[in-house]
Chain A
Amino acid sequence: MSGQIFGQVIISGLLLGGVYALISIGLTLIFGVIRIVNFAHGEFLMLSMYITFWSFHYWGWDPYFSLAFVTLALFVFGLAAHRSIIQPLLGAPPFMQIFATFGLSIALQGAALFFWKADYRTVQTSYSTSTMNLGPIILSWPRVIAFVVALGITLLLFWFFKHTYVGKAIRAVSQDRDAAQLMGIDIGRVYLITFGLGAACAGMAGALLMPSYYAFPMVGTNFVLAAFVIVVLGGMGNVTGAFIGALIIGVVEAVSGVLIAPQLKEAVYFAIFLLVLLLKPSGLFGIAGAEEVGLK
């Protein structure tokens, strides 16, 4: 493989990683703090892609213009989903919650299929296929923007967790929920906000994906398993870890697609996932033993 192709593959992998990062950041918040395996996360992404598509279709809103609106809409949707489905099940046997999110995922897919049909929807903008040249390497503009925003969100959340009261409370709950409660943190509220934030991240990802991807009812399933791999790789609840993990998985996927076989690229990252789980289940950047907190 020549240096130029290699460089192109690495860069494409990093840009794909940027898209993965946006989806995984929301998932890692929900998984890391509330300890819920949110199977409906891919459907949150699907919903936001459809909202972006319809705002473009009916009102001509540019996807980057609807970004804020879609993020807010998904935040509210996340709050509602948490209140109606997750909250009543917080005391239930832990795996009932998985079935609830799985049911939500089926219901949302069914609703999308019913209302919007199985067609692939794309947003045609002037920049959808535009590229920039970085020496011999070609980059797609929408992917570059998604990458930059993902980086920005990661930094913003990093700051949020370090310097705000709510952020610190979320971190405290993810580290030890009992101790956090004893310190006077309202756990129910933290869960609610975290779930909303997680859904909002998926909303942002959907709007940013729309210029270079297409919406269809099952689109979420393409991303959600990769996102789980990334979340575990980066350490649960670790936003920076999720960002770096996403870049790693993006590059691994791109490189193994070229070096091994395109059909096997997913098998490669699932194999990495299993190895990480078996050798260092706290993830590459997690604290050892953190994966067991609150699980028993």
Chain B
Amino acid sequence: MTGALARLARALCGDSRRYLGLAAIVVLCLLPLVVRNPFYAHILIMMFFYASLGLAWNIIGGFAGQLSFGHAAFFGVGAYTSSILSVKLGVSPWLALFAAGGMAAATAAAVSYPCFRLRGPFFALSTIAVAEVLRILAIYFKEFTEGSVGILIPFKPGIANLMFRSKVPYAYFALLLMAAVFAVSWLIEHSRLGYSLLALREDEDAAEALGVNATECKLIAAVLSGFFTGLTGCFSAQYVLFIEPFTEFSLDLSIMISLTAMIGGLGTSVGPILGAFLLTPLQELLRAWLGGQQQGLHLFIYGTVLVVCVILLPNGLITWLSRRLLSLLRHLPAAAAE
């Protein structure tokens, strides 16, 4: 792990051409301050938000190749855990945040362990079923969850309550979340665990024959993925201030999460960020421009763009971009280190 940390540090500043990465980080840090218009600030927050979700999904879906279409389950568990704790039991939202992550991680472990035997579409379908069951249970157990009515989170702004008047702190909150998941997935990508996951993604039987403990690796990936998805669920509850079973556990959300990672490029730490930065503005702008006047038109365009994107870029945006960008990068002046 220390070796990987050193490499991360080197990658961020020492290595050649990586100053582009540094520049990107500076831009990302300044963006929340620059974007003052509340609508664009919302889009920015949503971009960080979906990037976090896509990155978290990517740990189990991308690196380990276990394609989940039920990540809304962990998201919903996170949102409900934190909201029930903070609204009903008066726990500090900061504690509730980590409880949300913990609960989601535990759910991920409990759900994934038996489901890992399933391969291909069967794993995907089982994850959908799990999210649906959780949604139905959230509707049924009204004493805890308020059922279909949902939980309204009283607005008490302040850093202690993890709620803010302006969008700027939310944007930094989401950015921090994104940075955390990015750092963790970068560390995984360049660690023994990451290599093991890649190996078992390509051929599980061969990887096991070479001594990779497939179940253990996948379980760790699932727990990490669930944990960060749960954190993001809590963030969403603190930002929207309202949760209800149909949005928190929806299949649409699950698909959107996996789609973000897929469109960007599977199994890379940058891919989900690219995917989120492409899809979220598209979706939000379409909804804003067309959603109000012509019901359904924005959905039609969004769906069509999706189909076209998938047909044109079946290997993800990053494979397509990197081919073009790499040649450009080679022409950039390199830093002294190389």
Give residues in A with beta carbon < 8 Å to B: 31, 35, 37, 85, 88-89, 92-96, 98-100, 102-115, 117-118, 217, 221, 225, 228-229, 232, 261, 263-264, 266-267, 270-271, 273-274, 277-278, 281, 291-292, 295-296
1/0 per residue, CB under 8 A from A, across B87-115: the answer is 00000000000000000000000000011
Once the chains bind, are A35 and B121 in contact (CB under 8 Å)? yes
Task: Find chain B residues with CB under 8 A from A295 CB.
Answer: 119-121
Residue of A nearest to B311 (CB): A88
Once the chains bind, are B140 and A106 in contact (CB under 8 Å)? no
Say if the beta carbon of B2 comes within 8 Å of chain A. no
Residue of B nearest to A31 (CB): B121
Once the chains bind, are A111 and B300 in contact (CB under 8 Å)? yes
CA A267 – CA B135 in complex, angstroms?
A: 9
Once the chains bind, are A96 and B303 in contact (CB under 8 Å)? no
Once the chains bind, are A278 and B117 in contact (CB under 8 Å)? yes
Residue of A nearest to B304 (CB): A107
Given A93-B315, A263-B136, A270-B129, do A108 and B122 touch, yes or no (CB 8 Å)? no
Name the prevailing secondary structure of the A interface residues. helix
Task: Find chain A residues with CB under 8 A from B295 CB.
Answer: 113-114, 117-118
Task: Find chain A residues with CB under 8 A from B299 CB.
Answer: 106-107, 109-110, 113-114
Most A-side CB within 10 Å, residue of B121, B130, B255: B121
* Other-chain contact of A277, B126, B259, B263, B298 (Cβ < 8 Å): B126
Once the chains bind, are A114 and B294 in contact (CB under 8 Å)? yes
Once the chains bind, are A114 and B129 in contact (CB under 8 Å)? no
Once the chains bind, are A93 and B297 in contact (CB under 8 Å)? no
Most B-side CB within 10 Å, residue of A92, A118, A277: A277
CA A263 – CA B298 in complex, angstroms?
A: 32
CA A274 – CA B70 in complex, angstroms?
A: 13
* Other-chain contact of A104, B121, B307, B309 (Cβ < 8 Å): B307
Once the chains bind, are A99 and B259 in contact (CB under 8 Å)? yes
CA A105 – CA B262 in complex, angstroms?
A: 18
Once the chains bind, are A96 and B314 in contact (CB under 8 Å)? yes
Say if the beta carbon of B41 comes within 8 Å of chain A. no
CA A113 – CA B303 in complex, angstroms?
A: 13
Can you name 26 A-B residue pairings with CB atoms under 8 Å? Answer: A37-B121, A88-B311, A92-B310, A92-B314, A93-B315, A95-B262, A96-B262, A96-B310, A98-B69, A106-B300, A107-B304, A107-B306, A113-B299, A118-B295, A228-B128, A232-B122, A261-B140, A263-B136, A266-B136, A267-B132, A273-B129, A274-B130, A277-B125, A278-B115, A278-B117, A291-B122
Task: Find chain B residues with CB under 8 A from A102 CB.
Answer: 255, 259, 306
CA A104 – CA B140 in complex, angstroms?
A: 32
Task: Find chain B residues with CB under 8 A from A271 CB.
Answer: 133
Once the chains bind, are A281 and B310 in contact (CB under 8 Å)? no
Say if the beta carbon of B266 comes within 8 Å of chain A. yes
Once the chains bind, are B306 and A264 in contact (CB under 8 Å)? no
Say if the beta carbon of B157 comes within 8 Å of chain A. no
Say if the beta carbon of B56 comes within 8 Å of chain A. no
15 further A-B contacts with Cβ under 8 Å, apart from A103-B304, A114-B300, are: A37-B121, A88-B311, A92-B315, A95-B258, A99-B306, A100-B306, A102-B255, A106-B303, A113-B296, A232-B125, A263-B139, A267-B132, A267-B136, A277-B122, A278-B117
Q: Tell me the smallest distance from the CB of A275 to a CB of chain B, in Å.
A: 10
